[in-house]
Structure formats: structure tokens, C-alpha cells
Amino acid sequence: MTVTPILKTSISELPRVYFVGAGISANPPSSFPLARPLVSQILRSIAPDQQTLDLFETLADPNRPNKRNPGDYVRFELLLDVIQQVVDPELSLLGFIELFRDPNPLHAFFASRAIAGDIIVTTNFDCLIEASIIKLGSQPITVCTAEDFESWTTPRPHRVPVYKIHGSYSRYDGYNFEPAVSTIQATLSALTIGARDLVLPEAKREFLIEATRAQSLIICGYSGGDDLDIVPTFKLLSPRSLDWLVHSRARQEAHEATEEWRLTLENNNEASLSARDTFMRHQFLEGSYRLKIYEVDTPRYFLPTGDINSGLNSSPASERSNLQLRGFIEEWADTFLVKPHLKHIVSGHILFSLARFQESYELYRKGWALLDEHSERSESADVARMISRIAVEISRFKEAEEWSQKSDALSLPDSSSRAKSLQQHGFAHLKLGKFAEALQCYEEAAAICRRRQLDRFLSYVLHDTAIIYQDLSQLGKAIPLYEESIDLSAKDGDIRHVSFSYHQLGTAFFDLGEFAQSQQYHLKALELANVLGDQAQIENSQHELGMLDFLAGRLLESIRRFRSGIAMASETGRSQYVAMDLQHIGIALMEAGKFSAAERVLLAAKENYQTINDEITLSELQSYLCQHYLLCGDYTSALSAAEAGYATALRFGAQEFETRAAFMMGLTHWIKGDDANSERKLCAAIERAKEGRFMALLLDQLYLCGRFSVANMTCDELPTLVRWAITTYAEFGNKRRMSVLARFLNDL
């Protein structure tokens, strides 16, 4: 068959690179299922009841109006990731690819372009372009492994390369082929293995950069709307031009929609945009090459009229293909979901990954009730462990401890199940403030993880150990553990945990006063969380960015972030985080001089901390309550709050909170004038903050000295420290605090 494309735009010049997606395989006779209908079919086989199915059908729509963030939907890669982790480690489900073996004329078109010398890059797992190359009398070669991409410029005589950026079901070398399922990157973990950011692995990334450099790049059959790694990589490219063909069955002729898209994207809130839209917006505003968007009927655009009329159209997959797919998935479910509890567990895990914690908790509890005497102990241990994990998220800490104990009791000694149970048992202890018990669990879990090479759970153990050291103000121990955790999670493809560790590093660098670095980590964590749909991490990141807004004097913006965090915490059932957001709203109101409102909010935060038994963070809140009472002239209440905070922090060994409370006690005594040593105590607390590198605390201490006009202080290096504080606030643009400190410096 001779294929002569009908190209009506500037993309006709050679050489060119075609980047093609699943859309080119959707038309008959291929009728390959697109991601969304495929996800729907799988979810129907997984849902244990109609209520869960109804929820899944809602969550499977990436375009629904009430999404909480751009990634808040059941993504194909997430679904397969859960299936692989829980019930189908070999991903036999991918066998559905074999149902769709017949190339359509679009495959023939791209095969002809590859034969002519153009570069064809595809995200598709199918081998329909290779089959078309053979039909046209040439011999294909499938480029799909990291080694293949590292040597992509090596001459391949008499071979026509097809570059499979996400792997391939089979690997062709001429007319010969062999299975290559292991190269397929269909799960979230596989897509992000080796990555600290959502970009392609190095070999594939460098290939795409070099292959497109100064070339015409044409994207078709690829929406990019739910992309994880490709579109972020597009940001690194420098083609001569980029033409993005957006499929529209209604278009008889190509319609350039560049200006329409540009106006729409410029007017939208960037935080609500998908990765594709963010990329396009950036190119329109700052891009170094021409980007044009065309709305086209893809087959009509590329193919002669005769080929379209002979059977190819833009209709969805045929009913026969749908029946074949449904039958395959039902047969798969009958094989892998035969135990009565498994549908509940898989469904619960999907919802857990989407931060739908209450629904996830209920499904896991039902799954536990369906376990029978024939269930393996490790299986029961894993279910109990996950119930404990979810109970932590919804602030049921004592219940979490009880379930982690059950998991531990069900696990065999020195087994992977035992390591996972110990990790979760330690996490439950951590949330209850039992640091010694938690560290003991983590030490034993880490030893098993290292012996059994359980890198994913070793990463969790190291991360949680670091949290304890951070809570104990031992940042020098915490930061290297976070960094090691990131290395392990990236190696394993656990990009969600990479995001979480970025967040924790951001909080650590905040405490150290390295605020620019803190902001970078929090923005990186937020970016990943938005794409992944990790509502819990979005909530965490928004809170920390609110803290940075506060330091910059952007009080309204900080309050907006904290209020948003409360709304998100309410949605996800994470009541433990409501208290912290309330605390910082109260601090911002206090800074703004709204003392009555500040007191109401701070006391509400105190009540929340007491409800969930979070004594450690309550000890910090007591210092802020002391500050509030001092500003209102209630010195008795101020001293009582500071003393309560000091006693609790001392009991837990939380050095930063202890130092904060000691300073507030000294400040209260100085203002009251009832302690001749109060000035010395203030200086000692400032020195401890400096020595402990609690730089955010040190900023607060120096500011409060200025705010309350503490005179005649003879602390070592005090003028130098105040100048540092003024410079730091100047970098943030916080003129209010700069002014207070400047007056204080003049009085020294």
C-alpha cells in the first residue's frame, strides 16, 4: 500500500519526529482500548459492591468538575501499580494486549514515515507499527530497553527503528521477535523507577532531547492530559517547532486553535492545570520555539480519502473488541480475585492511594472480616498492617497501635511480613509519642529489610526514624536519613515517598533557617503531589508554604493556605492536621493584632491536640499561648502556659520546643520583673537555639526581644544575630519585622 499523507500545515518539511500515542491504535481494525475505558472495565471487575463501583466510576473521570487537584482520579498506572502490589505481581493482566493484533492504516502511515527516515517515538506497548513495517516489506527493530536507548545512534543496517519510550510487549529484530513484557512501564512504580522527578529515565530522556533538537516535532494520538513523565520531559526539549494535533472527530479540515488554547490557559489558575496544560502555558509565555495546536480528525488529516472510505474512521473500538476485552478481564478476575476478601483489599488500596481514607478504612475492615482460616498468616498480617496505617491517617492512634500489634503477632520471624509489621508498629508508636519503642521497632525492621533487600520498606523505616530525630531536634541525624530514604525510594520507583521525603527535608531546612532551600523542597513536593493526586501530601505542602508566607509577612496568604489545609484535612479524615493549621492561623492572627480571634483559634487548636493526644506539638502551642497572653497583659496565664509547654517538651526530649518554652518563661519573668536572672535565662535560650541550629526559633526569639523592647541584654554576638535576622527578613520582604528588629538593634 502506498501512503501519501495530506499535510496542510508547515509540518511537511523533513526531517521530522513523530511522537504518537494510544489514539492511533484506537481505530478499527486495531480497536485497541484507550486508558479510560480500560480502567472502567478493570474497576468493574474489582469493585466488591455497587457502592464502591459508583465511587470508582466517579473517580475514574479525570474531567469531573469537583476534582480536588489535577491528579485526583483513578489513573491507569496507579490502578496497575496497586494490582501488581496486591494480587498480580507478574501483571498477567497485560495479556489483554494480545487481543489486538491487526494494524490499521494509521499504523501503516507511521510505518511508511519510519521507512522514509523520520523518527517514530511512541508510548504504545503494542507492536502494530512494527507489524506494518513488515507488511510494507521492511524489517523493524524495536528500541525499548535502557541499553537500546543508550545506543540509539548506532547504525542498524536494514532495520527500521521504532522507539518505544514506555517499553514494548514484544521486541522485534527484523522478522524475529521475543517477549519483552518486562520492559513495559505500565505501573506508577515502573514509570518512576530511578527518578527523583517526574521525567523520563536518563537514557530515554537524553534520546528524546537529542532526537528532537532543531527538528520539527509532531505530536498526535496523544492527549498528554494525564501524563506523568513524558510532558515534564517535553520542557527539556529544544525542537525547531512543535505541532500538537488534538484529535477532534468533528473536524473535516485541520483547524489551528493555538490562540484559543493560549487565551484559555493564560486565564486559568496554574495550580488547576494538568502537566500538559502547564507545559503549553509555559511555552506560550516563555518558550524558545514555536508551538502550534491543531484540532484535527487524525485519520482524515494523515490518510488519503480512499483509505478512510475503505473502513478506517474515528469510531471507538468495535463491540466485538469490547466483548473480547470484557471476557479477558473477567477471566483474569476469576483467577486472581477468587478469595472473597481480595476485592475489598484492592479497592481499599486504590482509595488509600487517592487519600480517600475513610472509604479505604471501611473496605479494609470488611476485607479483614472476610478472611478465613485458609488465609495465609502473612496475608492476614498485611491486612492488619494496612488497617493500622489507615487508622493513623484518620487519627485513630490507639487503634492503629492495636492493629499493628495484631500484624506483628501474625508475622513469621525474620520474614518480609515481619519487617513490614515492625515498620508500621513503629509508626503507630511514633504517633503516640513512644519514641523509644518506635526506634526499637525500626532498628529490628531495618535489619530484616537489609537482609532481605526490602528497599521500599527500608526507605520507610529510615524516613520514620528521621522523623523521630527531627521531633527530638536532632536534625544532623535526621537529614542524612531522609536523603538515604529518597535514594532508596527513587531506585524503587516509589515517587510518592520521594515526595514525602522532600516535604520532610523542607521542614528540616526550615528549622535550620535555610528558607530558600526549604521552599524549593516544599514546591517540589507539591508539584509531585499535584500530578500524582496525593491530597494528603498537598495538604502537608500547603501548610509548610503557609509557614514561609508567614515569615514573609504575607499573613492573609498564609491564613488562606492554613484554612485550605483544614478543609482538605476534613475531606480526608486527617483530623490530626486540623490542630496544626488552627495553631498557625492563630499565630498569624496574633501577628496581625487580632488578639481575640487569635485566642479563640489557639484554644481550639489546644483542644484538638488534647483530643488526639498529641502532647509534643501541644508543648509548642503552649509557647504561642504564652506569647498571646503576654501581648494581652495576662502574665499569670502566660507563665502557666510556658511552664506547661516546658514540662512536656522536657519529658519527651523535644529540645527545640523545650528551648522555645524556656525562652518564653524567661521573657515572662523579665516583663513581670520578678526574676533577677531573667535576662540571663533569655540569653541562655537564645544561645541554645543558635547552638542547636534552631534558626526559625532564633528568628522568633530575636523578634520577640524587639517586640517587647527587652533592654540591657548582654548576650554574646547579639547585635550580629539581630543583623542576621534583619537580613533574613529583608530577603523575605517582611518589612514589619525588619522595622521592629531595626529599632531593637539601635537600642542595644
Same domain, 24 and 51: no
pLDDT in tens, 595-605: 999 999 999 99
The pLDDT of 523-543, averaged and rounded, is 92
**Total residues found in the chain within this entry:** 748
Asked whether residue 260 falls in the same domain as residue 133, the answer is yes
Residue 369 lies in a domain: no
- Does residue 45 register a pLDDT over 70? yes
pLDDT digits (tens, 9 = 90+) for 195-212: 888 889 899 999 999 999
Q: Which three cell numbers stand for residue 205?
A: 530522556
Domain CATH for 639: 1.25.40.10
> Looking at residue 8, what is its pLDDT?
38
pLDDT band, residue 318 (cuts 50/70/90): low
Hey, which of 57-71, 186-200, 219-233, 490-504 has the most confident mean pLDDT? 490-504
Q: Is residue 551 part of a domain?
A: no
Secondary structure (DSSP) of 446-477:
HHHHHHHT-HHHHHHHHHHHHHHHHHTT-HHH
Q: Where on the phi/psi map is residue 47: left (φ > 0), alpha (ψ -120 to 50), or beta?
A: beta
Whole-angstrom distance, CA of residue 526 vs CA of residue 532: 10
Domain, as residue range, for 191: 10-33+100-303
Are 85 and 194 found together in one domain?
A: no
Contact 522/541 with Cβ under 8 angstroms?
yes
Sheet holding 176-179, edge to edge: 176-179, 170-173, 140-143, 160-164, 119-122, 16-20, 216-220, 241-247, 290-296, 255-256
**Contact status, residue 146 vs residue 180, Cβ threshold 8 Å:** no
CA-based angle 106:108:111, to the nearest 5? 115
293 and 194 within one domain? yes
Q: What is the pLDDT of residue 308?
A: 53
Q: CB neighbours (10 Å) of residue 98? A: 11
Q: What is the pTM of this model?
A: 0.88
> How many domains is the chain partitioned into structurally?
3
| Cis preceding linkage at 304, omega within 30 | no
Question: Sign of dihedral through CA atoms 573, 577, 579, 582?
Answer: negative
pLDDT confidence band for 6 (50 / 70 / 90): very low
72 SS3 class: coil
Residues 135, 257, single domain; the answer is yes
Cell of 238: 529544544
Whole-number Å distance between alpha carbons of 241 and 118: 15
Q: Is the pLDDT of residue 455 over 80?
A: yes
For 346-370, what is the mean pLDDT? 96
- Is the domain of 26 the same as that of 115? yes
Residue range 218-241: average pLDDT?
A: 91
Bridge-partner residues for 26, per DSSP?
none
Reply yes or no on whether the pLDDT at 52 is more than 70: yes
Question: Alpha-carbon dihedral of residues 306, 308, 310, 315, nearest 10 degrees?
Answer: -170
pLDDT given at position 143: 97
Do 188 and 255 fall within a single domain? Answer: yes
Termini Cα distance of the chain:
89
- Whether 45 and 172 map to the same domain: the answer is no
Instruction: Kindly report the average pLDDT of the chain as a whole number.
Output: 92
Same domain, 50 and 90: yes
**Residue 641 domain-assigned?**
yes
pLDDT at 90: 94
Quick one: average pLDDT of 728-733?
Answer: 94
Task: Specify whether 82 is located in the same domain as 123.
Answer: no
Residue 525: pLDDT over 80: yes
Is the Cβ–Cβ distance between 662 and 681 less than 8 Å?
Answer: yes
